[in-house]
Amino acid sequence: MGIDPIEYRPWQGERAGLVRRLWTITWTVFRSKLRSKAVLILLVLGVLLVHAIPIMIDVMTPHDDVSSDLMFGEEEVYLEPGNSTVIIDGELFLEGEPLVTGDFALNGSVSYFGYITIRGTVVGAGTLTGNGESVVIDNLTVEGKVKVNGTIRVYGYLYGNGTLLGDGTVTGNGTIHEEHDLIRREERFGGYMTNGLFTLFTMILAAIVVSDAISSDLADSSFVLYFSRPLRTIDYLAGKFLGLLMVMSLFCLLPPIIYVIAMTGTMSGDDYGEAGRVLGATFASGLFTAVFFLPLGLLISSMTKRRAYAGVGTFMSLFVLSIVSGIFAIFDANWLAANPFVMLLHAYQRFFGITMAGGVTPELHTLVVASLIVVPIIIVYTRVHRLEVGK
């Protein structure tokens, strides 16, 4: 090459199809991200902290299968006061050692096989059957039957129209409490996917990765370079999105897959069917995590020319969302649905086919998740599209 001006020469060759051109955008985004120090540091740090250490420890710990419990930890059940009366018309099996700190009304039956503590009032026309050692109840009003093989200790008022059967002792003194309500809450601890650090790192990574995706084109007015070529708004966005998704997948998708494969390879049992299901659900969960924060980030990136604003804005909006949801959830449990952490966790639980904990219904969850993905995409599309066409 030389600096001397040369003659213009034509180019002869075949042009690539549109898909190849889209891929060019995707690959360029991906490569430029991997050249950024901040992204690299975060990736290495995150993979080490969130993934590498659990992978090493868990693989070396003897295990005979790869199950949902591995990913989500053992289940524990809580019943807590809520603000609407829980009336059990069917049967409720409590298999753990539930601690009921509220009251509940009983029209069906409750069977328990462990130790049950109810720090509230049970009002029931149904049956409470227990095989455990004892039942501890603050107040007990029985329209139906209470059958206990252990001890029933009533610290409050004991009132009954039904039958009270027992091999143990019934003791009681006190009054009927004001009626409270119950929420059934399940919590799992210690699972690979329930690691809060995972979500936190994902949020930070997404904020950094997505920050200049659109804002730098805004700052440089470089949309016109793309749109004077045969690309539509949707091509431009899809190309960028896929590039970002590839970066996110390095953290959110690849390591969990490696984890499940490594755990399957080292398990002592032979339930490969279950392990396969877990692998599928893990793939879905990882991909979902990689996608989840990008639309919101793209939206914020399309609103400012400064990448720093876009990055901080993305992280802060997620942070504020979880705080707001936490505050309002005190008054209405449905607000939990607005917490990004909860949204992700519920999504995992749905992919793994585990019952959803907390007061959030699947419908509400779907609605919230869809709106956090679809609404930003629509807004970004219209914003960029308006820049593409001159008016």
Ligand X SMILES: Nc1ncnc2c1ncn2[C@@H]1O[C@H](COP(=O)(O)OP(=O)(O)O)[C@@H](O)[C@H]1O
Q: Look at residue 389 and give the partner it binds from other proteins, ligand X, none, a contact being a CB closer than 5 to 8 Å depending on partner kind.
A: other proteins
Residue 258 DSSP class: H
Q: Look at residue 378 and give the partner it binds from ligand X, other proteins, none, a contact being a CB closer than 5 to 8 Å depending on partner kind.
A: none
Shortest Å distance, C-beta 21 to other proteins: 5
CA gap 381, 375 in Å, rounded:
10
Q: Quick count: other Cβ atoms within 10 Å of Cβ 275?
A: 21
Name, in order, each residue with C-beta under 8 angstroms of 375's C-beta and a sequence gap of 6 or more: 295
Q: Look at residue 225 and give the partner it binds from other proteins, ligand X, none, a contact being a CB closer than 5 to 8 Å depending on partner kind.
A: other proteins
Query: Which is nearer to other proteins, 224 or 327 (by Cβ)?
Result: 224
Which of 268, 331, 353, 391 lies at the binding interface for other proteins (CB under 8 A)?
Answer: 391
Q: Look at residue 6 and give the partner it binds from other proteins, ligand X, none, a contact being a CB closer than 5 to 8 Å depending on partner kind.
A: other proteins
Q: Look at residue 228 and give the partner it binds from other proteins, ligand X, none, a contact being a CB closer than 5 to 8 Å depending on partner kind.
A: other proteins
Query: Which is nearer to other proteins, 45 or 225 (by Cβ)?
Result: 225
By CB under 8 A, residue 167 contacts other proteins: no
CA gap 326, 348 in Å, rounded:
20
Name, in order, each residue with C-beta under 8 angstroms of 154's C-beta and a sequence gap of 6 or more: 137, 138, 139, 140, 170, 171, 172, 173, 174
Residue with the two structure tokens 């690849």:
254
Shortest Å distance, C-beta 386 to other proteins: 7
Residue 333 DSSP class: G
CA gap 368, 28 in Å, rounded:
32
Query: Which is nearer to other proteins, 38 or 262 (by Cβ)?
Result: 38
Using CB under 8 A as the binding rule, the residues of this chain from 11 to 50 that contact other proteins are 11, 13-18, 20-21, 24-25, 28
Which of 5, 10, 17, 390 lies at the binding interface for ligand X (CB under 6 A)?
Answer: 390
- Site map 186..225 versus other proteins, x via CB under 8 A: --------------------------x---xx-xxxxxxx
Q: Look at residue 8 and give the partner it binds from other proteins, ligand X, none, a contact being a CB closer than 5 to 8 Å depending on partner kind.
A: other proteins
Using CB under 8 A as the binding rule, the residues of this chain from 225 to 264 that contact other proteins are 225-232
CA neighbor of 234 nearest in space, from 382, 390, 369, 373 = 382
Query: How many chain residues touch other proteins (CB under 8 A)?
Result: 45
Q: Is there a contact between 203 and 186 (Cβ–Cβ < 8 Å)?
A: no
Shortest Å distance, C-beta 7 to other proteins: 6
Shortest Å distance, C-beta 389 to ligand X: 10
Tokens of 221: 């007015």
Shortest Å distance, C-beta 13 to other proteins: 5
Q: Is 108 helix (H, G, I), strand (E, B) or coil?
A: coil
Query: How many chain residues touch ligand X (CB under 6 A)?
Result: 2
By CB under 6 A, residue 389 contacts ligand X: no
Shortest Å distance, C-beta 198 to other proteins: 30
CA neighbor of 94 nearest in space, from 117, 126, 67 = 117
Query: Which is nearer to ligand X, 60 or 389 (by Cβ)?
Result: 389
Cα torsion through 286, 287, 293, 295, rounded to 10: 180
Q: Is there a contact between 149 and 170 (Cβ–Cβ < 8 Å)?
A: no
CA neighbor of 242 nearest in space, from 16, 20, 30 = 30
- Site map 119..138 versus ligand X, x via CB under 6 A: --------------------
- Site map 332..371 versus ligand X, x via CB under 6 A: ----------------------------------------
Concatenating the DSSP letter of every residue in 352-383 gives HTPPPPTT--HHHHHHHHHHHHHHHHHHHHHH
CA neighbor of 93 nearest in space, from 150, 67, 132 = 132
By CB under 6 A, residue 391 contacts ligand X: yes
User: For the chain, what percentages of helix, strand and coil (3-state, to nearest 5) are there?
Assistant: 50, 20, 30
Angle at 285 between CA 279 and CA 287, to 5 degrees: 100
Chain positions contacting other proteins, by CB under 8 A: 1-11, 13-18, 20-21, 24-25, 28, 212, 216-217, 219-232, 386-391
Chain positions contacting ligand X, by CB under 6 A: 390-391
